[in-house]
A = this chain, B = another copy of it.
Amino acid sequence: MSTAKVTAQRKIGSRRAEIQDAAATLFARQGYSGTGMEQIAAAVGLVPASLYNHWPSKQAILAEIIVTYEVETLEAFNRAIRDKLTAGDALYAAATTRLSYLLRHGRQAAITDREKLLLDAESLTRVHGLQNAHFTGLRALVEQGQRQGEFDQDTDSLFATVALLEMGTRLATSFLHQAEYPSWGEVSGAGTVLQMSDGEVLANMDEASAQYATMALRMVSHHPA
């Protein structure tokens, strides 16, 4: 497959987005510091200097990837829990929505996870604010379920919230590194059929999300009233 053909298939006039997408793939695979502007340029068929017509710096590409990812993550969470009648329903919706989003943005999740400390102070403050809002919202949900008797009272809500969030991040980013678990991507008994190619999930995200949400409810010992 020629680079020219792939480039031609993309929308003309979205060079900026094309560069960001190529950067995301490379950052996820090699890390930010391990990726040069020359590699990004080569991936989109340009010479390094031309990238600066679309982006002011390498840092700016990183910052937009991370901030966009965190903004969308928080929006997805708030949308998911809206109008849910019980804590169990809200947690289930938050979990399925989160894993579904994560599986479709595995590169961005991995980059945020690894490189966010390299951001400038302003962007980092914003990212921490977004992450804190997400964390606080999820923790409030856990504690609400505990007060209402739906979730186990003895669970430490701080610990459970961290575990829920981190388990999701890791499950999703794991798909970027299939080699780690050779059987990963196989057809598996309960329907976690997941095939990755160039950072994209091709099949059966819904089943994986349901499995994740079920485990999330088990972790807080959900027992519907």
Residues on A lying within 8 angstroms of B by beta carbon are 29-34, 114-115, 117-118, 128, 131-132, 135, 154-160, 162-163, 166-167, 169-171, 174, 177, 179-184, 186, 188-192, 208, 211-212, 215, 218-219, 221
Return 20 A-B CB contacts under 8 Å, by A number: A30-B33, A30-B118, A31-B32, A31-B115, A117-B177, A128-B179, A131-B181, A154-B190, A156-B189, A156-B192, A158-B189, A159-B190, A159-B192, A159-B212, A160-B215, A163-B215, A166-B170, A166-B171, A166-B174, A170-B170
Q: How many copies does the complex hold?
A: 2
Contacts of A219 in B (CB 8 A): 215, 218-219
The reply to whether B181 and A162 contact each other, CB–CB distance below 8 Å, is: yes
Least CB distance, A96 to chain B, in whole angstroms: 14
A interface, by DSSP: helix, strand, loop or mixed? helix
